[in-house]
Structure 1
Amino acid sequence: MRRLCISAILTTMSSLSLFAQKAAWCDNIRVSGFAIAQYQWSNPKDNEANTFNLRMARVALDGKVAGDFYWKTQIQITGNTSTLASSPRLVDLFVEWQKYKAFNLRLGEFQVPFTFESPIHPIDVGFMDNGQAVLKLTGYSDRSGMHSSNGRNIGIMAQGDFLKNANGRNLLHYAVSVVNGQGINLKDVDQRKNLVASLWVMPIEGMRIGVSGWEGSYSRKGNWTDAQTVDKRNGVRSLPQHRYAISGEYASEGFTFRSEYVHSTGNAFAKTMTNTNDGSASDCNLSAIGNKADGFYALGIIPVIKNKVNVKARYDLYRNNAEWNSAKTFYEAGADYYFTKNLRLSAEYALVNDRNLNKHNYSIINTELSIKF
């Protein structure tokens, strides 16, 4: 089935490329993508791992229509076809009106404007994955129980840059979106939309300082047991989600320094949804992790040989109940080697302190070969 899906995707891409050669209105259509192959070793007690892995691959089409309209569609290929979390699946499909720099209007499925790191290209993040707070609080492996959605949702968004300085560089950026709040490829359940917005200032070239917020809910339709009355209930259960992030970044001449604090208030479902046809989709019981979580990371990437060799380090903390007894901390260091601009080998060592485990400390060695096209 997986081979069939991949073949169908490649055939569709090929057909669209041939069509683009014939149709003048879309003669600027582009095909792009990337792939990441991974080797990882780790030694948490009783859960050791030593494996090669095809971490992720994406293929995207984008272009412009009628001058002012930009469109994009992107498919992610990982795992098998049986679950929402790892199936070949659509992650982007939107159209954006781009007539004015200060006001662009996007409609479809897209990356929501929450945190600086979430919208960054997976290869350009610089480490083995996003920071834990980004993964758990922006819709990747979200603590709420939402299926893996790569920080994306379905809805509408306005964004733009404005307030030019004397050199013509914009000093402010904003983005405001109204989305379903259910993740990718699913309709709304509780008919309550989520508001996700960000605002940042760019005081000097390469620097941005900003805040973002998420106000809404995540919902399921199914069954649960009331914790106080022990009554069996069914219907739609909606869990409010209130989140904010404080972010800062400086990126210039190959140097990158970025740090973010993310906080969440809101309960979670006990089981993460992995398949719309199994019990996880209708299990509305609550998780025992409570209604608060937070996380913080700080990283630096420094070029040793420009466009050839980088060294890097990251401190990455996440607390799944906002208390220190649940803290999981990564102390990471590594390096990147660029064969070409689009072909990179990365190696990284992480010492992990996880207070949720009986034996807190373990190590991870991660290497990745990534290519863009």
Structure 2
Amino acid sequence: MKRLLLMAAIMAATNAAAQESKPTPWFSNIKLSGYGLVEYQYSGQKDKEANTFDLRLVRVSLDGRIAGDFYWKAQMQINGNTATKGSSPRLVDLFAEWQKYGFFKVKAGQFKLPFTFENPMHPIDQGFMSYSQNVSCLSGFSDRSGQHSSNGRDIGVQLQGDFLKNKSGRNLLHYQVGVFNGQGINTKDVDQQKTIAGGIWVMPVEGMRIGVFGLEGSYAREWSYTDDSNMKHTEKKSLPQHRYAISADYKTKSDWTFRTEYIHSTGEGFKTSDNEKNADLKLNGYGSKADGLYALAIAPIKKEKAHLKARYNMYRRDGSWNTSKTMYEIGADYKFSKNIGVTAEYVFVNDRTLSDHNYNMADVQLQFRF
């Protein structure tokens, strides 16, 4: 708690000093912001019943501009979570982007992978209690490869832009492509083989996107151990990863939202996560294929104030129905103001990897920004 308060005080002081001084063309518009998610969740999974409150996320960020053409951002997660209490605070984002031309922008640092529509979305704006299973397992969150939890991010360089304007001046095409370490956040490359990820989409009508994405690379791990004769050894293993996604979303002026994405992956994964100390090189035994699909709809009760929502959320860890986990979600949200709201969901889960396939979940979150 002392560390959290100290960090908040330092960032607040930095922001105050920036506001008191006159902006210059070289370093200006510094802004302190953040958000938090306070969660209650119930799970009725047999022998793993849970009923708990949790601080799901607390993040603080600074961003601004340098010399007018460069946008920069630094973001930290300052709370622990139920899986990795010891790994926070930790750096989540740190990047700068040259934005002089809308059709050609260059970003460098640590940031969201350009893979799927949902991955780059804000945890609150994506609309449900968590990111969909296929995005979580195949886009750098709790990744199938065994990579440590990286919140959909990696370290690298990316090009992106919009072009081909119509008569009204709206761009019809967007592209983005980047080269990354392939190891997740705050980690150097291990096998010296970079990962390439990117996508392209069309915007035929206002509010609609139809796109395809690809990811080609590897995830590697180095394991150190001592044998029976007290000799130390280090081994390295690299697992190729080949993924693609087909995506579509549409948000209407009347505040309806529709979104769906299918993701397919080829490439094996390690049995243990890199979050564990000295994780070994054993494979998870799921084989080389996995895929998943989600489809959602969010309907306004009152525009930009209250909504009803539903999501079909399916993931197959080895590409077969025998290992599918499907979540049928319904819920609602309400915004008390622009910066604070509450969301509630009921989930029926069918998990065919369990002896007792079906169970229920409930989730309520207080979501706030500052």
> What's the TM-score, normalizing by structure 1?
0.93
Partner letter of residue 153 of structure 1? D
2-structure distance, mates of 1:341, 1:319:
37
Deviation of the 1:252 alpha carbon: 2.2
Correspondence for 1:59 = 60
1-structure distance, mates of 2:311, 2:83:
34
Moved more, 83-92 or 145-154: 83-92
Which deviations, in whole Å up to 9, do the C-alpha atoms of 1:117-143 show, x marking residues without a partner? 000010011111000000000000001
Moved more, 316-325 or 245-254: 245-254
2-structure distance, mates of 1:363, 1:85:
30
Correspondence for 1:258 = 259
Deviation of the 1:273 alpha carbon: 1.1
Which one of the candidate residues 298, 304, 307 is aligned to 1:307?
304
Question: What's the % identity of the aligned pairs?
Answer: 55
Aligned length: 360
Correspondence for 1:236 = 236
Partner letter of residue 372 of structure 1? R
Correspondence for 2:247 = 247
Which one of the candidate residues 8, 18, 24 is aligned to 1:10?
8
Deviation of the 1:82 alpha carbon: 10
Partner letter of residue 238 of structure 1? S
The question of whether the paired residues in 2 share the 8 Å contact of 1:217 and 1:241 is answered with yes
Correspondence for 2:193 = 192
Which deviations, in whole Å up to 9, do the C-alpha atoms of 1:135-175 show, x marking residues without a partner? 00000000100011010000100000000011100000000
Deviation of the 1:341 alpha carbon: 1.8
CA RMSD, aligned part only? 1.8
Correspondence for 2:322 = 325
2-structure distance, mates of 1:80, 1:132:
18
Correspondence for 1:120 = 121
Tell me the secondary structure at the aligned position of residue 136 of structure 1. helix
Deviation of the 1:6 alpha carbon: 1.0
Correspondence for 1:345 = 342
Deviation of the 1:42 alpha carbon: 1.1
Correspondence for 2:17 = 19
Superposition pairs for residues 89-108 of structure 1, below 5 Å?
89-108=90-109
Tell me the secondary structure at the aligned position of residue 29 of structure 1. strand
The question of whether the paired residues in 2 share the 8 Å contact of 1:223 and 1:285 is answered with no
The question of whether the paired residues in 2 share the 8 Å contact of 1:153 and 1:180 is answered with yes
2-structure distance, mates of 1:245, 1:350:
25
Deviation of the 1:80 alpha carbon: 6.5
Correspondence for 2:39 = 38
For structure 2, which runs of at least 5 residues remain unmatched after alignment?
226-232
The question of whether the paired residues in 2 share the 8 Å contact of 1:85 and 1:148 is answered with no
Return closer, same or farther for 1:120/1:176 CA change in 2, 3 Å cut-off: same
Q: Does 1:279 align with 2:239?
A: no
Deviation of the 1:270 alpha carbon: 0.9
2-structure distance, mates of 1:341, 1:7:
25
2-structure distance, mates of 1:82, 1:268:
19
Return closer, same or farther for 1:241/1:170 CA change in 2, 3 Å cut-off: same
Q: Does 1:358 align with 2:359?
A: no
Q: Once superposed, which parts of structure 1, at least 4 consecutive aligned residues long, lie more than 2 Å away?
A: 21-27, 80-86
Return closer, same or farther for 1:23/1:146 CA change in 2, 3 Å cut-off: farther
2-structure distance, mates of 1:326, 1:173:
36
The question of whether the paired residues in 2 share the 8 Å contact of 1:301 and 1:312 is answered with yes
1-structure distance, mates of 2:46, 2:273:
24
Tell me the secondary structure at the aligned position of residue 8 of structure 1. helix
The question of whether the paired residues in 2 share the 8 Å contact of 1:94 and 1:110 is answered with yes
Which deviations, in whole Å up to 9, do the C-alpha atoms of 1:330-364 show, x marking residues without a partner? 00000011111221111100000000100000000
Tell me the secondary structure at the aligned position of residue 28 of structure 1. strand
1-structure distance, mates of 2:243, 2:83:
31
1-structure distance, mates of 2:288, 2:86:
23
Tell me the secondary structure at the aligned position of residue 212 of structure 1. strand
Return closer, same or farther for 1:86/1:325 CA change in 2, 3 Å cut-off: farther
2-structure distance, mates of 1:236, 1:84:
27
Partner letter of residue 109 of structure 1? Q
Correspondence for 2:159 = 158
Correspondence for 1:180 = 181
The question of whether the paired residues in 2 share the 8 Å contact of 1:84 and 1:148 is answered with no
The question of whether the paired residues in 2 share the 8 Å contact of 1:81 and 1:88 is answered with no
Tell me the secondary structure at the aligned position of residue 4 of structure 2. helix
2-structure distance, mates of 1:255, 1:284:
46
